[in-house]
Structure 1
Amino acid sequence: MSKTWKAGVLLIAALVGISVVSVHFGWHGQLYAHWHNSWYGNQAPDKNIWLPDYKVAIDGKPIPGITDISGIAYDPEHDRFLGITNGVPMEILALTRDGDLLERYPLIGFQDTEGIAYMGKGRVVIVDERLQRLHIFTLPDTPGPIRAEQTQSLAIEINLSEHNKGFEGVTYDPANDRIFAIKERDPRQLYSVTGMLGSIGNQMQIRIKDLTTWVDRSVFSKDLSEGYYDPRTGHLLLLSEQSSNLTELDQQGNFVSILSLRALAGDLKHTLPQAEGMTMDSAGELYIVSEPNLFYRFTQSKAGLSASAEKH
C-alpha cells in the first residue's frame, strides 16, 4: 500500500470519525463501523463472536399461522426456541431449530409483549413495551395460558413514551443473575437489572444500572429492537430494526463488530423487512426473527471456524 493511498484512507476515516461524533447513529457511523472491521480485522479471535464471519443458512422462512413475531430466545434444556408475539393473540411459541411451530402458550392480561429471554429451569423473562415492565414466570409443563397477574414483575418507568417507544428487548446473563432491558429509541437506552431472579422468595437485593453510555458511544444505529448476552464471551449483541444491523459489544460496552442485514451488503436475498428478535444457540449459531413471521439462521463461515479452532 503506497503512503499516499494510505494517507488518503486515513483522512477519509478521520472525516468519517468526525461525522460519528455528531451523528454516530446515522449512515456515517455505520460506514465507520464497517470500515473499522475491514481495516483492523478480528483482534481477538479467541474472545470475540465476530459478526462478519456469519453467513445466512435459512433466509426468511415463513412461520405459518403466525403474525407479529417480536422476539426469540433459545431454550438449551429442550433444544428449542421460544418466540413471542405482540399481535392478536399475544402468545409464546415453541419452535424447532428450523423455525417450525411446536407449541403455543397464550398470554393473558399483557399489553404489548415484545422481547423474551430464557433464564433456566423453565423460567423466562418477557418485556411489556408499553408498561416498561419485566415479567418473570415459569412455563407450564404442558402448553397453556399464562396470566400477567400470576407473574413476578418489575416496572422501570423512566422516560416513558406515549408513542410505543419503550422497552423493546430483553436478554439474560445467568452467571451474574443480570437482565439487560433495552429501550427502543427517543432515547435509545440500556439498563441492567441484577438480582431479580435471586430475590424471588428471598431477601430482595436488586440493583438497576444505566448502561446507556455503551449505546451512545458504540452502537451505530437509529434504534434498538433486541439484544442477546453471550455467556461464552460475555459480549452483548444489539439488534437494530431501522438500521438493519447487528452490533457486538465487549464486556465494557466497547464496539467489537457489526453485521449488516441488508441484501446488498451480504448474502441475504432481501433486506430483513423488520428485524425484531435475535438470539444464539449453544453452538454459536445466530437466529433472527422479522415481522410478520420470518425466521433466519446464520452460521459462522468456515474461515471463522478455522481461526477459532486454531486459537483453541
Structure 2
Amino acid sequence: MTTQNTRSYLTKWKKSVMLAVIAFCVVAQLAMAQDNSTLRFIEKHKIYDGSNGFKEPSGLAFRAGELLSVSDNAGAIYTLDAEGSINEKASFEIPAKDLEGITLLDDDIALVVEEERTRVLTVNLVKRRVIAETSLSDMTGADRVAALRTNTPKNKSLEGITVDRSNGVIYVVTEAEPRLLLSIAPDLSEIMDIWLLSEQVGFSVEGIEDSALDVSGITVSPSTGNLWIVSDQARTLFEFNLTNSKTKSYPLKYQNHGKTYQIKHAEGIAIDPEERRIYIVNDDGKDSHLYGFALPTSP
C-alpha cells in the first residue's frame, strides 16, 4: 500500500469513527431524554360509581389527604380517598351542570368551572352551597379572550382550573379552538394574562394534528409554580413553565405485568406535595380510574 493510499485509508477510518461516536452520542441523548420524559407509575384504582352519579370524572383537587372531584354528568362535588372510593357523607350536590374542573382557594372554599356557561362557581365546602357565580365575560379583559375565540363552539370552552396558593392567582384553560391559558385575579375580577398553548411553546405530540390536540385539566406545582396540564386526545401530560414559556411533555402511559398501557380520556389532575405524587382521573365510562404517578423532579 502506497503512502498516499495509507493516508486516504486513515482519513476514511477517522471519519467513520467520528460518525460512529456522534451517532452513539445522539442515541444516548435521545435515550436520556426519553427517560426524563417518563412518569413513574405507582397505582391505579377504579372510580366509576353509577349509584352515586359519578359516571364522568372531569376534574380533581387535592386537600389534606383526600381528593375532590366533579363529574360532567352531575351537579355535585365528590370527596374521594387516595384509593378512589367516594366518601358519601362528605359529598354533596350543587345547582350546576357541565362541570369540568375544581380547585381550592383554601381548605374551605372551592372554585368549580362550568364549561358551556363559561363561569366560575365559588363553593363553600363547609356550608355546602354556591356562594358566588362569576361569568368569564364579566371579567375585565374578557374582550381579549373573545377576540381569540370568535368561532369557538361552546363545548370547547373552560376545561380546568387551579389556584397558586402562594399568591392567589387563578389559572384556567380552554379546551381547544384555540387552546388558551388564562391567569385571573384572586377576586375573579380580571383576566390578567393570556397564553396561547401552541406548537411554538411545546404543545405538540408526534402523530397528533394540532387541531385535534386539546387540554382537559390543570394543576399547579406548589414547589416550582409550574403548571401541569393534561390532554385527553394526545394522552399526554405537559409541564408548562410560566417564566420562560417552555414546555416538557410526558406520555400518559404505564407498565403493568410487563405490558404497556396508555391512559385514555384523562380529564383531571392534582398534586399531593407532601407525597410528591400526581393524581390523574380519566373519563372512560365504567373503566374510569384514579392513577397515581411519582412527581418528576423539575430542573
Provide the TM-score with structure 2 as the length reference.
Answer: 0.74
Return the match for 2:261 from 267, 270, 275: 270
- Pairwise CA distance, 1:282: 2.2
- Pairwise CA distance, 1:119: 1.4
Amino acid at match of 2:180: Q
Return the match for 1:127 from 105, 108, 113: 113
Return the match for 1:299 from 265, 277, 294: 294
Give the SS at the match of 1:59: strand
Amino acid at match of 2:155: N
Return the match for 1:208 from 186, 192, 196: 192
Instruction: Work out the percentage of aligned pairs sharing the same amino acid.
Output: 21
Output one character per residue of 1:8-34: Cα deviation in whole Å (capped at 9) or x when no partner.
Answer: 68999xxxxxxxxxxxxxxxxxxxxx9
Counterparts of 1:41 and 1:218 in 2: how far apart (Å)? 18
Unaligned regions of 5+ residues in structure 2, if any? Answer: 1-15, 206-212
- Pairwise CA distance, 1:178: 0.7
Return the match for 2:55 from 62, 67, 74: 67
Output one character per residue of 1:113-135: Cα deviation in whole Å (capped at 9) or x when no partner.
Answer: 10011111311111111122122
- Alpha-carbon contact 1:214-1:254 (below 8 Å) kept: no
Greater shift in the superposed pair: 260-269 or 158-167:
260-269
Counterparts of 1:266 and 1:214 in 2: how far apart (Å)? 36
Q: 1:186 to 1:60 in 2, by over 3 A?
A: farther
Pairwise mapping of residues 34-49 of structure 1 onto structure 2 (< 5 A)? 35=30, 38-39=32-33
Counterparts of 2:214 and 2:17 in 1: how far apart (Å)? 39
- Pairwise CA distance, 1:82: 0.2
Are 1:151 and 2:132 counterparts? Answer: yes
Are 1:113 and 2:107 counterparts? Answer: no
Whose Rg is larger?
2
- Pairwise CA distance, 1:264: 7.7
Are 1:4 and 2:8 counterparts? Answer: no
Give the SS at the match of 1:164: helix
Return the match for 1:85 from 65, 71, 75: 71
* Count of residue pairs brought into register by the alignment: 257
1:220 is matched with: 204
- Alpha-carbon contact 1:72-1:84 (below 8 Å) kept: yes
- Pairwise CA distance, 1:191: 0.6
Q: 1:267 to 1:41 in 2, by over 3 A?
A: same
Q: 1:249 to 1:162 in 2, by over 3 A?
A: closer
Counterparts of 1:238 and 1:84 in 2: how far apart (Å)? 17
2:85 is matched with: 100
- Pairwise CA distance, 1:93: 0.3
Q: Which one has more relative contact order, counting CA pairs under 8 Å at least 6 apart?
A: 1
Are 1:189 and 2:180 counterparts? Answer: yes
1:18 is matched with: none
Return the match for 1:254 from 240, 245, 248: 245
- Pairwise CA distance, 1:181: 0.8
- Alpha-carbon contact 1:176-1:194 (below 8 Å) kept: no
Output one character per residue of 1:246-293: Cα deviation in whole Å (capped at 9) or x when no partner.
Answer: 011223253353221145899875321210001111222010000133
Amino acid at match of 2:41: V
Q: 1:285 to 1:261 in 2, by over 3 A?
A: same
- Alpha-carbon contact 1:63-1:101 (below 8 Å) kept: no
Amino acid at match of 1:154: S
Counterparts of 2:258 and 2:238 in 1: how far apart (Å)? 18
- Pairwise CA distance, 1:209: 1.2
Amino acid at match of 1:297: G
Unaligned regions of 5+ residues in structure 1, if any? Answer: 13-33, 43-50, 198-203
Greater shift in the superposed pair: 62-71 or 93-102:
62-71
Amino acid at match of 1:153: T
Give the SS at the match of 1:38: helix
